[in-house]
Structure 1
Amino acid sequence: MIGHADVLPIPRLLAGRLDAAASAFLAEAGPRIDFSQPPGEAALVPADSVSWRIFKNQVALFIGGVTAVLLEMAEPKVRDGVWQHSSFRTDALKRMQRTGLAALMTVYGARSQAEKMIAGVVSRHGRVTGRTTDGEAYEANDTELLDWVQATASYGFMRAYHIYAAPLTQTERDAFLAEAKPAAELYGAAGAPTSERQLDALMEQKKERLVPSPVVFEFLDIMSRVPALPALARPLQILFLKAAVELLPPWLRARLGLGRQWSLSFLERQTVKVAAATADRLLLRSLPPVQSCRRLGLPDDYLYRRAH
């Protein structure tokens, strides 16, 4: 277990601006969700979980989310299902905002609200069918594909936090994967990995299915241009993309053709680590982690001052 993580002391005015920028990003995703309501209602994941600690880190979520998408894009059925049916090409920022809000709702939202949101996603996915560019039929609610999508998300968020923010023990990594099971089952991913050993086994099993595609580079190009971070942090965006690429298994990165231009220099890697470590201590009071603590009667700094 890691010792105390203190709240980062920053001027009130700067904290307010950061809080407002982060809130605005989520607010644009759709109707505002009050994570502080209803009082006392538990989430799908308990507050003392590894998940609550990891998902409070905005840098780890951004990096890990990009890693997850790269892994998804390597699977032809998932790639074409996303690329043929989503608005990512035309409105990448809105898609990112909705995806980020859904991830936060799955971890922090009151159980009744999270279940309602997930049911809506499953219903929409039921209408997503088609054929890949190579002629393979796919359905978004195919359990095998859902297991892979769940696995890629868990891999990305866990590795991003572990490598860039703070190291996780083997027990903590396994716990993080197991904590996702209730939500994964609601999404239809009942076979998603619940331990790192199972995750590694699935990666090995998927090896022959994961292939290169121009879509991978199109995705990274869009991600390098979309204003996904507040203006002051925008120079870090390309570093975060490189950090995401570096989390891929080396054999897959080579197969996808993501060469040296997507590697971090020593100084860039240290910059990413400082940013992630800073985010781990940055308490933003209007965001879901703090609002959800309030819903459960916990202090605003609960996720920062508890031993973890």
Structure 2
Amino acid sequence: MHSGGLLAKWVKDLIQPDDAPGVDFGVPAGEPALAAPDSVSWRVFKNPVALFVGGVAAVILELAEPRVRTGVWEHSSFRRDPLPRLKRTGLAAMVTVYGPRSAAEAMIAGVRRMHDRVAGATPAGAAYRANDVDLLDWVQATASFGFLEAYHAYVAPLDAADRDRFYAEAAPAAALYGATGAPLSVAQWEAQLADRLPTLERSDIVFEFLDLMGRTALLPVPTRSLQRGLVRAAVAIVPPEVRAVLDLDRAWDLGPVEGRLARWAGRAADRLVIAGTPAVEACRRMGLPADYLYRR
């Protein structure tokens, strides 16, 4: 199913910061991305519902780690003006997955230079640096987990081999970011989570973040009533042991109607070939049909 018009404009606007130059994912012709067109990553990242739900789940996990939480909350505009920050994060994800390798490498190098200037201490006195490998590994792990689980839960189930492939496919980009110990499989993610769990802690910032995600105007007006349900869908895929640490109790459970709506939205979005989006333009760059990723 092909789509354009207002929906295409919304999807493109969602990842295009007002203060950043546009990125042309259609050139140069034939230049590969960090991940291949037949990868699980290209399949997952084309879906805007999986990206929103998975991104919220990933940030919940990131904010559970006190050093990451302090760095994100004190050194970004997220709290004051979340939409531009979300757009920059979304664009970075698209360039990392679909952009030509040269553009992805240049962008990631810029992110690393910016992170070199981010350092401080948590309220409890723990020092942190944004480019600390330990923290980068956790951020990369939570991102892979969030996007994968959102797609698996609300779009289409993925078998064990594809789930492992998704983690492994992130390795080239993770290494460029400096996350040299990011998980390469589901088993490695589970081991990393178990190892990290004793360091995670509850914070009111998590609830402030969830409130921001529920009320910031992210979705088109006709679908905005879905937004709070999608935030609950994100909470639903957070590992139960982390939910317990964060006090994300049953009040945050996904209701049956919300769950059906989330799955409907995720599956519907997976069939929409939206002209001009990174996934479609990247396929064109590689000489593939616009609907290549939508035939599965």
TM category, shorter: over 0.9
State the distance in 1 between where 2:209 and 2:165 align: 31
Deviation at 1:294, TM superposition (A): 0.6
User: Are 1:78 and 2:36 counterparts?
Assistant: no
Report what 1:20 is aligned to: 9
User: Are 1:98 and 2:95 counterparts?
Assistant: no
Deviation at 1:24, TM superposition (A): 2.1
State the distance in 2 between where 1:287 and 1:97 align: 14
CA contact (8 A) 2:14 2:90 kept: no
Deviation at 1:254, TM superposition (A): 1.7
Q: Which runs of 5+ in 2 are unaligned?
A: none
State the distance in 1 between where 2:219 and 2:177 align: 28
Matches within 5 A, 1:113-128: 113-128=103-118
Deviation at 1:93, TM superposition (A): 0.2
Letter in 1 for 2:15: L
Letter in 2 for 1:76: P
Report what 2:165 is aligned to: 175
Letter in 2 for 1:104: M
State the distance in 2 between where 1:27 and 1:217 align: 27
- Residue of 196, 202, 210 corresponding to 1:220: 210
- Residue of 189, 192, 199 corresponding to 1:202: 192
Q: Deviations over 1:210-263 (max 9, x none)?
A: 110011011111111111111122111101100000111112112211122211
State the distance in 1 between where 2:247 and 2:67 align: 20
**Which stretch has the larger CA shift, 276-285 or 253-262?**
253-262
Q: Which runs of 5+ in 1 are unaligned?
A: 1-7
Matches within 5 A, 1:9-158: 15-29=4-18, 30-158=20-148
Q: Deviations over 1:156-187 (max 9, x none)?
A: 00000001100000000000000000000000
State the distance in 1 between where 2:97 and 2:17 align: 20
Runs of 4+ that moved beyond 4 A: none
User: Are 1:249 and 2:239 counterparts?
Assistant: yes
Letter in 2 for 1:117: M
State the distance in 2 between where 1:262 and 1:283 align: 33
CA contact (8 A) 2:63 2:69 kept: yes
**Which stretch has the larger CA shift, 246-255 or 105-114?**
246-255
Letter in 1 for 2:183: P
Deviation at 1:26, TM superposition (A): 2.4
Letter in 2 for 1:237: Q
Report what 2:254 is aligned to: 264
Letter in 2 for 1:123: R
Computed over aligned residues only, the root mean square deviation of the Cα atoms, in angstroms, reads 1.0
State the distance in 2 between where 1:64 and 1:34 align: 25
Matches within 5 A, 1:273-288: 273-288=263-278
